[in-house]
Amino acid sequence: MNAGLFVTGTDTGVGKTLAACALVHALRAKGLRVAPMKPVAAGAGEPVGQGANADTIALAEAAGPDAPSYGEITPVLLRDPLAPHIAAAREGRAIALTPLVEAYRALDRRWDFTVVEGVGGFRVPLARDLDAADLAAALGLPVVLVVGLRLGCLNHALLTAESIARARLPLAGWIANAVDPSMAAADENVAALAERLGAPLIGRFPFVRNADPREFAARLDVSAFAKTRA
C-alpha cells in the first residue's frame, strides 16, 4: 500500500483543509517528510496565474521548508469557487484523471508520505465521466473522513462511508470537526458515528475561529499511519 492518505469530507466547508494540514503537522512530528497535495482546487480568484489559492498555500505552509511547489500541490487550479467540472467548463478546460495520478506519483516517489486532500465531498464531479471517488480509487490510498458536526451529519457521514466502501478503499479513520458551535447533542452524534462507521475516531476538533492546524495536530492519533513507510 502506498504511504499516504486521502482526506475527504461529508460536504464542502467541513474542515478538510484544516484536517489535512493538521495531519501533515502530526506526521512531520513523527519524523516523516510529508508532501501535501490538493489535486484540484476551485476558487483561486483573479488571476489564476498566481498559482495558488488559500487551501494550497495552507498545505504548503504545513509542509514546512521542504514543501513541494504550489503547482505540484495543486496541478489543477480553477478560478471560480464552483463545482470543479462547472468551473473548468467556464475556463474551457477539462479535468482528466491520468495527469492527476501522475502528479501524485511524482510526489510519492520523493517524499516519505503524501496527504491528499479531495475537493468538495467524496462524489463531487470533476468531469462528465469522472468524480472525486474515481480519483481516490485511482490513487488507492486509505481514506480519512472529516465529519462536519452539524445537523444532518449522521446521514452524510454514513452515506459517504458507503461510497468509500463501494470504491473498495479502506476507511482508515475519521475526524469529528465542530463546524456548528450551537449543535445540539454533539457528543451523542459522535457516539452514534463511532458505533456505525467501523473505523477509528482519530481526532475531534472543537469549534475555533481561524483555527491553527499546528495546535489541532496534537489532537490527532496518527501512530498507525506513521508506520506505513516502515
Enumerate the active-site residues: 38
Q: Name the burial class of residue 125, with classes exposed (0-12), middle (13-18) and buried (19+) by CB atoms within 10 angstroms of its CB.
A: middle
Tell me the CB-side half-sphere exposure of residue 97, using CA atoms within 13 A: 13
* Strand, helix or coil for residue 52: coil
155: left (phi over 0), alpha (psi -120 to 50) or beta: alpha
**Which amino acid is residue 144, in one-letter code?**
V
Whether residue 47 is preceded by a cis peptide bond, meaning omega within 30 degrees of 0, is: yes
**Which amino acid is residue 201, in one-letter code?**
L
